[in-house]
Structure 1
């Protein structure tokens, strides 16, 4: 397993985390990454973990739970450092974080067109669920 120093992100990490998410193609025009970071860090049921290699942020994951199931978003590994096991390490840290909170199940969403990411999760023991996901914007905006 790759050596990676994992810790919750700090205020000074925001720009580096957003830049990592952008390099990984995780940001979307309808989601403000800085607001997402602030929301995740606001309460006790969520956080953003970062992985550092020689002090440089090379991986991240937003983790949280609603008391029953854990969720992970914005899982990122710097594209220039993929294939070194960092994805496995950050996901193990997410699982440890959730287990420490007493959460037994982790769920995540992968866009159908992202077969590479789906294959990664399958390679580390995640199974595709046969579920339909429904959503609705409740803040008045029109769907993108």
Structure 2
């Protein structure tokens, strides 16, 4: 099996939301369909999906604000995890950002999600000594 990466297409929405749900990425305070629509309004070419044998099985949302790059909704279908697809998605995100001159990629992982933290550390990411702050501007 080999994954082909391409830009997200509107017809992918149902499969992407199902993937995110299967991976435990959907939380009550974020509407995944609204997140997709928002991304399609900002750098939609940086929203990638992975296809294998005609099936959407991976995704990553990438963004760049001119100072830092961000990666969100990195997901690989649970039955295909452990085969290097997550690493391939991260490398694609890094490539897209490097092409834009982005000096650093940031991401956030829930502190309780130890397996995902271990995954990122295994491919060269480390914890920054920062406090993540946020404020909801629009309720989903």
TM range (shorter): over 0.9
Q: Deviations over 1:98-140 (max 9, x none)?
A: 112221210000111000000000000001111111122234x
Unaligned runs of 5+ in 2: none
1:25 paired residue number: 24
User: Which residue of structure 2 aligns with residue 34 of structure 1?
Assistant: 33
Structure 2: distance between partners of 1:9 and 1:77:
15
Alignment of 1:23-62 (within 5 A): 23-44=22-43, 47-62=46-61
* Alignment CA distance shift 1:17-1:57 (3 Å): same
Distance 1:113 1:46, change over 3 A: farther
Is the 1:46–1:65 contact (alpha carbons within 8 Å) kept by the matching residues of 2?
no
C-alpha distance in structure 1 between counterparts of 2:43 and 2:23, whole Å: 27
Deviation string 1:35-75 (CA, Å, 9 cap, x unpaired) is: 10111121237631101111211110111011110000111
| Structure 1 unaligned regions, length at least 5 | none
Asked if the contact 2:76/2:85 (under 8 Å) is kept, the reply is yes
CA separation in 2, counterparts of 1:68 and 1:115?
Answer: 28
Distance in 2 between the 1:51 and 1:3 partners? 9
Aligned to 2:8: 9
SS of residue paired to 2:46: strand
- TM-score computed with the length of structure 2 as normaliser: 0.93
Tell me how far apart the structure 2 counterparts of residues 9 and 98 of structure 1 sit (CA, whole Å). Answer: 17
Given that 1:40 and 1:46 are in contact with CA atoms closer than 8 Å, whether structure 2 keeps it comes out as: no
The answer to whether the 8 Å contact 1:21/1:74 transfers is yes
The residue aligned with 1:115 is 114
